Structure 1
Amino acid sequence: MAGGGDQTLGEDRLRGVLDLFERLRERPPWQWRERLRPVLFLLGPGKPAKDVAELFKDRCEREKAPVSHIAADNAPGDVAGVLREAKRELSQPSSHPRGEPPLRFPLLEMALWLRDLREIRLAGDDPPDRDAPSTERENHRLVRRLTEPPVGDNENARRRELNRVIRRRGRDVLRDLDQEGPRGRTAVFLAFLEQIAPIGIAVVALVSAGAAAAIDLAAAFLAASVGLAFVIVQIAARMRGWYGVRSFGWFLRQPYLDRDSTGFLGFALGVFDPRPAESDDHAEQLDLLLVAAFLEDLRRNYRRDYRRAAWARVRYPVLIFEHLSPGHPGVRVVELIERVRAGRRNDGRDDGGPRGFDPLVITAGVDPTAPAADDPSAPAGPRLVDRLAQSVRVDLWSGEPQDVVAARGLWDRYWEEQRRVGVLGSRRELRVDITRDPGGNLPSAEPPRRRPRATHPALPWIAMVAVAAASVTVISVQALKYCSPFGITRTADGECIGITDGSFRFGEGSDGENNDNRLSPVLRRIKSLNDEVTRSGKPYATVVYLGPLTADPSIKNRQIDLLAGAQGELVGLAIAQRRFNDASQNLRLRVLVANAGAKFRHAEEVAERIRARALKDRSIVAVIGFEQSRRQTQDAIRVLAKSALPLVGTANSYNGTALLDSHAGYSPYYFRLAPPNARLAAHAAFWARNGQVGGRRAKVAEVIYDGDPNDLYSQDLASQFQKAFRPGTVRMRPYRDPGDLDKSVREACQNPPDIFYYAGRSDEFRSFANVLELACPKRPLVLADDEIAKYVSDNAAEIGRKGTFTLYFMPLAAREAWTRRWIGAQPPQTFYSDYDPAARSMTGRSPSGDRGPSVTRAAVSYDAATMIATVANQVFWEQKASPTAGAVFAALNDPERDVLPNGASGVLRFGPRSTGHQVLDKPVLLATVRPDGTTEVRQVCGKLIASGQGRAECPPDG
């Protein structure tokens, strides 16, 4: 007999029943094969049944599979006790592998707690025992508070008290899953983390990486923030009582107890309230509820969803009744379990049909001679095994004929029976007589199913780390592409380009993160002014400034690359924005700043972004800037012209900047504030040959210019000067890099010219000046265009102090031109009176000091912004509607309109498209740097003011 001698021998003799047991508790790999398991009855007296039960238990514990063994002796006294013991044992560490979470029974735990409260209330005023656990004493105190609420609305007081307690209990049930060794909040946190974190973080990582790759870092950060917040809220919520209460909504769908419409609190009060007239039925319904909660908890533990642990469970939980006798509560538990599974009510009718699959496997030892009732005085009757068999039997229709009216329901009855058989199976019991041993050997059974490798506890975390690492890598790579989450991208050479309202600080560093650079304070002021426009709630027009706002990454010494021009243009924009918004009653001006990169390398790409933004933001009425005459600037103008946006060039002087092609001519949308190179070169040659530069007539000129084919300005200006300097001699000396410049200047100084005409860029002017100082024996005379006004702005004091060369230059605008000599008794332009305090407040230093903004570039950008704002305001009042780009363009294109009769750089009236919308008779200035570092304007040709301007020495046609 099993257990009677050697255990191995017993197992060999019982191999058949052990193999049957293994098949019963082995979980199939596919959900569609899962079915309710029948009850296994082991027929025989107590000792053999106990031995087989021990073998079953040992097998489960060796595999750390979930098992509960209900002994014949010292069995719990009622159904609740059996379920409590089963819950405790199924949750033990011996019932689950190391590293796997145990089975959890929150529904059963809550139902048992409500039942305990009911039992305490039914017991009346009996106090708890002295050695009662703290939880029992707490339950007694709670019952007293619920039965003796404060004076007032007793029902509402009871509900509030029960609501408070159940919220706390919802948290505690999730924390204290068993009675031995509560796992604590940390363990619960880790359990939920195992369910949520791997897949949640992996999904967040994938979405974030996709957003970073497809859109920009802002979308990636937003996706990551929302996703991680959702994961954290999910984890935190499950630790709170309200989530526990919410998860108990299952009780409201059960048919076993009456309930009102007030949710789970009403249901809990229904369990708590004693009903003497219905006490027996109420107790039975409560037992059915406990059994249903037990089965539902098991069903949820084995539900094949996103939880890895549920897929890793390859053995069904086993409830072993060692030996059932008529009075054993296990008999009642088996009957109630089958009633719940079959969906039968007390009267035998259905309560909604069978419940579906649950994973519980039941084995029970039964003496086939034991009576069904535990009553010695009762006459011989049904056996206990027959009583149990009756409780688990699948009820089908007896085949009785129906009348002609009831025939209508036969088809529904037929399908209900099919469903019942599909859920419960064709047989609900298996009987094995463990006392019969025919002898013989059985072939070896198939090896038991092992846990799938894909459900290893470490696998979700490994996958999560791998996906997160890949996502971080993608985002990190994208972070190299983006300087800011909001559309500011990083180029291959390290510059930050894009469009900002001032919130991103472009600067001298390529990373744009140095908030101490010279552009940051001005951008901060523009951001503040834009915020005021938004807060005002009034209509506004938007201008976009496109310029080179970062230093050339190829230059190691960033001090060489001057940003005085860009700083000056931004200061002029801010002054124009402030003055217009203060004066305008309704329309406001908003300014966006776009960085095209050093030397306008990325102008076309940024122009595409401006164009795309203008299609969405109809308040954009113009783009200003384009200060450098380069091929990339031409490409940007062609892109933006497709959007029909007015384009205003500030310092761009190349004649063919806006030429579309030889047939189409100039772009109709481009308006030039700077005089063209041909006019500038004609004035420079005239002044040099006639003695206005340095006091002597120049006959030989050395022209220094940048030979970069992409630099349209330098080569064109040098060529135009060569044509205009006649009948003098011109020697052309191009350079491509500082080494070429050094060589060219040294060669020129061996046979010094009468004048050096510098047509290069301000970036290389310091190198040019240094070579002059070292290589030329006499103090040379230098004439340059407006391009070096940026250099002068930063180094005027040094130029005057050293006196190694005499410098004349031709700024596009100058404060010194607005003196009595040139404007007579007329009041000076108010821009210059506002400039010093405004620039000082934005930069924190004196505008006339070193590394200050270029007042020349500030003046022309002020004129451009003020002109657009003024025209937009006129359109606003004429059309009684927010101005559009088309309306502003039409006003600018009106030949009869002085778009700005009193500009800081002169009177602004544009000529026809055929000449590229040049400003008619735009002033051309000749200035020099005095020994004290100040600037003196020697000549003013063109229309600085409307009338009464002082006379100057100008070319016959200028």
Structure 2
Amino acid sequence: MTTTDRIHPTGRPGTAMPAFEGAPQVLKLLRKLVTRPLLGEVPVDQRGRRGIPMLCLSRGEEQAELLTALADQLKNATPRRVPHARHSFTAEADDSADQTELILVALRDLAVQLSTGANTKYGRMRFSRFHLVDWLLRQEFSEADDVDLRARLSLRSRRRDRLSRDGEPAAEAFDSRWAVLLRAVGAIRFAVRLRGRIPGVGNEYRWLLRQPYLAPQDPGTFIGFAERLTRNLNVYEDQGQLQRLIVNAFLEDVRAAHRPFPRFLRAFRRTTYTVLLLDRITPANGGNRLLRLINDVRNDIGAFDPLVVVSGSTVIPPDPAELGAADDEGQTRALETRPAVEAEDAYEHWLTLFAHYSRTRHHTAWYLPLEIPPPPAEPQRHRRQLDGIRRFAFRSPPWWARRRYTRTVAVLLAAAVAAGTGQLTIGSVQTYQACGILPWDRDAATIALRDDGECVGVSGDSHVFLDGGSPAISAIERQILTTNRDVEAAHRQEENANRPYATIVYLVAMDTGETTELNSTHEGLMGIAAAQRRLLDGGPESPLIRVHVANAGSRMQHGEWVAQQVGRLADEDDTLVGVVGLDQSREATRRTIRALSNEGLPMVAATLSAAQMPAASPLYRQVSPDNAREAEVAAAFASNVLAAADAGPAEITREIRILSPADENDLYATDLTSKVGDAFAAQGFHVEGAAVGDDAGSNRFRYLPREDSDTAPPDALRANELGRQSCDYPGLIFFAGRPDEFNSFLSGVSGRCQDDPPTILGGDDISRFAADREDRGRWPTVPFHYLSFAVGSPSCNSPSNLYTTMRELFEDVCNATIDPSLDGHAALAYDAFDVFATAITNLQRNNLQIPVRPGMVQHELSRIHGEGSLSGETGRINFGGSVDQQVPEDKVVAVLVSQGSGVPELQGLCGAHQNRDPEGWCETP
């Protein structure tokens, strides 16, 4: 009997655990990692991000059977086998081997093993996402097929959908008439699965279009994206992104198998995590690359993976070549290889570093390397230690999750479903699929799925619009819900009986799709959450304010309908006194303001600046300056700084070309174009293109907006082409558009004249572009100036009230690599909320009997001027000058310059600010 053919402790022959110093510690650590708690996840309590490390075992060839022995331990665990799969990589691969194909081969093998009967005691694992991606990657078409590739791919996809589930198509067994009917039914069934609107049906298709790799939004349909994945075309895709897509599909299938809902009984039967054993990995055979991809995907996605990965190799991964030559020295090697005898201590040390390394997306955040020593000369002592560990033993599933009870539960659930069927309609099912809300939920009456697929409405108690994003982003909205509950609890306490109590709606335009990147919408929510929390923790005069978050659609297109829902809530709740936020100066926003005015609710906007907004309602106010003031500051800066005689090499001629979108519904752009033309003409600039006064609409330097516009002229160019045409312009290029088109404009400039770009000044909306480090660093050779209504902080370390509170509430976001609140949206939202809070405080300061109602609050808003003006995060807010003034006087407008990925630098500031004096070149408004 050989050393690898010993009798296993169970009495069955198997591969015995090799005896070496530290073997018991390795087994104890593996058992700890594999054990799944009854409630929650992760083997031990972890603060912040949760995860299970990848156990990397470095052993010599004399310990080559180590992973085979570990697989035997998992197979013979009690009370049942631990689901696991082992793949041994070939040692014959060289550096020229196709890494993508090697990874696919390994994951196919692992998926087959995990879905076979031996591993399905807990419930079958279905790798629907991975098999779909794998199938698409293997589709190949001849040149003759390429002419109609998309149609042929659609046909193959329908056939695969039938074959993969029901065996051979039933249509083959019938005559032609019935075959045609069955094929039609099959096509309809495939179309339903493809839409992914019914819970549990076609999840893999829906997931493929929402996962973050290879930009599936281009072109945004399954067949269109699938076409890019076929063997004919995937060679043109970024292979690193393609490999991450493959690995993410595999990991998502494992997550789905452990997810408590909807298969919660099966999930609770899983008392252990799934284990992958990757043996004989090297830099060339795909093993090292697979580990690196798992590390990177976990960093990117942020979801918990119920998966224990154990690798075996002669060299600890990752090798320096795998990390990449571009990594700096600190990133290249942050791993400390510990001996096997210190396995448990090494895990504790990994836990202390993990939160930081995963948050910063470190290349080795998930690696836990251990050195396996060679076999000892006298293994008897180590063998006796191993004999004390007979076999892995795990807890049994809870009694209510066992099969004998699940049948009873299934009957009860079926009865409950039958009772609730009367409340469900096709529309409510689609609403649940898109919005995650059911008819009996508390917010169901004020939230709806619109025809364009947008989930809009008002969340009064529990709904999270951004629940489809990363955990850090959804946590922002959840913080507001948490503070709402704290506010209600404080209101019930006797010591707070005299504190004013009110409800405010924060209405913005949200993109509720899956996202992992912070944007201005999320920053505004952070500002609102910080303002609400500071009031709650304030003194006895600080009002207690609940916040309802409302979404009017990604372009405010559903604002009127949402305003009606806000009105319904105001009728039912007399503490609801107004609306803050609003978003995007568009025609839809103006209609929303009018609808809210019809409901009798005062409004304080955070970022709007078009002249049409105040004109829409006397109940409207804003904390930002208007476009006329922005244009005056821009003209003064250009005249006194950019076109000054001592401007040096950057001096421009006194002429200006204004670029704006050809969209009459974009009131911000049309109004800013007009105001900029007038202001620069007053400063003696020649305005090219007749973008002045009544002729502003005829500006010939208008570009096609990203979204289709009914008012766009047929001869309008793309922003990219206007960027190329701007290269030789000796004057100032003023960009009066949106961030997406500005990115396209800069690409055109960079493509033609990156060595000598024109002088560029962007409107305040470009601050959203400049706040994103990745966006502004994309064109490092094309610097640009831009205007901003707030001088944001590049981090949450600023000592102001806003940023101090933001750091307390959102530490993970503040420590992220992006720049929170650099564009000032958090500060503007904070100030808009504070204006309402000040009005409510003043209302009851001298007379506690005055009720906090919309009309009384509107009256107090008009009194925020003079000595009663507010010193806000974005400067002084003073509605002086006249009784009906809606725009603050002498409001701050800053000019910054962005050069590459570095933090933009302040070039000047005009307006009343508590911490900064205005520049000498600022004109008195």
TM-score band by shorter chain is 0.3 to 0.5
TM-score (norm 2): 0.47
Bigger CA radius of gyration: 1
